[in-house]
Amino acid sequence: MRVLIAFDKFKDALTARQAGEAAAAAVRARHPDWELDLCPLTDGGEGFCATLTATAQGRLQPVEVIGPRGARTIAPVGLVDWAIIPPAARHQLDPARTGGRLAVVDLPSASGLALLAPGQRDPWRTTTFGTGELLRHAADTHVGAILLGIGGSATNDLGLGALAALGCRFFSAKGALISLPVPSTWARITRIEGRAALPPVFIACDVTNPLLGPRGAAATYGPQKGLRPEDLPRLEAQAARMAALLCDACGQPPTLAESPGAGAAGGIGFGLMVACGAKLVPGFDLVTAWLDLPARLAAADLVLTGEGRFDATSLEGKGPGGLVAAARRLGKPVHVFAGSLGLPEDDHLHAITPAGLPLAEALPRTAELLAAAVARVR
């Protein structure tokens, strides 16, 4: 029996790799002779850099950067040889490139929500400056291109913090330099100068939200980052003004704010498109090709997958939901395990958290609860 174990992260509890290892341990305990294929999933969020770099036999360079609230943190830059990346993934990035190196970076390791305790989450004061430091480090290693994953951000700064780290400058009406342009400083900014010099940047992104409006960055994702409802109109108005300033400074059309994905990760997709000419690529499709998931799924007799929460949105074709759909098309038995469910539990869909167990008590026990749920499956 060959089992494909492909989990995404359990937010605030387990990385994708840790979840897979917990499930694998439970399977090995009952079936030591089964062949297990562990394949951590990633959507551009936590683990994106480490997972893709390891799969391509690359190496990680730790970099000290500024975190989302100014504290120093260590985040990785992955370096991989272009020729080792699976051809289907290379084709999605740059079909014409045949050699050199690619840097892999993920925003959440430097500017992610998971780096902050709930009481520290405040989009007025969080910055992507550390992500810009990672991009600058990657450029300094003389790579041919950079791949950036942007899931799980703590920010709503349009990527202006990253651009500040890359050389853009932000000035007040009196000419004072504002070195860290977080949204709480935006009312003072009247001029932006400079552009970010980077090799080609590809952003892995499955979000289609525009920058502004009812489906925009602040309206859709601001609340989970600590934005109070009464502050939304003010942040939205300031974001629109800063977007216009950045487009003017870079000579780009303001209609870029309406592009699908411009609102990803608090608008960093927009900022990097305007200032660096970054290109958005479908994240799940890229990861699927990079991890060679179709071949690994075809070779499996059984599939185990899951994530922190599995609901109707999970079935829209990304992450574990996409894997479930693909497995079913091939007639493969598949079991899904989640911390919480937004769909009815059945023989193949399992909530790992016992009824009545408070979230605060469940989170530290996630690995134990996941292993126990997997062990119960016959």
Which pLDDT value is given to residue 347?
81
| Domain map (residue ranges) of the chain | 2-41+292-376, 48-284
- What is the distance between the alpha carbons of residues 42 and 58, in angstroms, rounded to a whole number? 17
Same fold, 2-41+292-376 and 48-284: no
Residues 162-208: tens digit of each pLDDT: 999 999 999 999 999 999 999 999 999 999 998 888 999 999 998 89
Residue 44: the pLDDT is 76
Distances (CA, A) of 282 to 77, 92, 172, 226, 287: 21, 9, 37, 27, 9
Question: What pLDDT does 181 receive?
Answer: 97
Mean pLDDT of the region 208-222: 95
Residue 139: pLDDT band with limits 50, 70, 90:
very high
Cβ proximity of 326 and 294 under 8 Å: yes
Domain 2-41+292-376 has CATH 3.40.50.10350: yes
The bridge status of strand 145-149 relative to strand 72-81 is unpaired
Q: Band of the pLDDT at 316, cuts 50, 70, 90?
A: low
Residue 61: pLDDT band with limits 50, 70, 90: very high
Percentage of the chain beyond pLDDT 90 is: 79
In residues, how long is the chain?
Answer: 378
- Higher-pLDDT residue of 298, 344: 298
Pick the CATH number of 48-284 from 3.60.150.10, 3.40.1160.10, 3.40.190.290, 3.90.1510.10: 3.90.1510.10
Residues 270-291 pLDDT 10s? 999 999 999 999 988 899 999 9
Percent of the chain with pLDDT over 70: 99
**CB-based contacts of 131: which residues, under 8 Å, 6+ apart?**
65, 105, 107, 110, 111, 148, 159, 161, 162, 165, 268
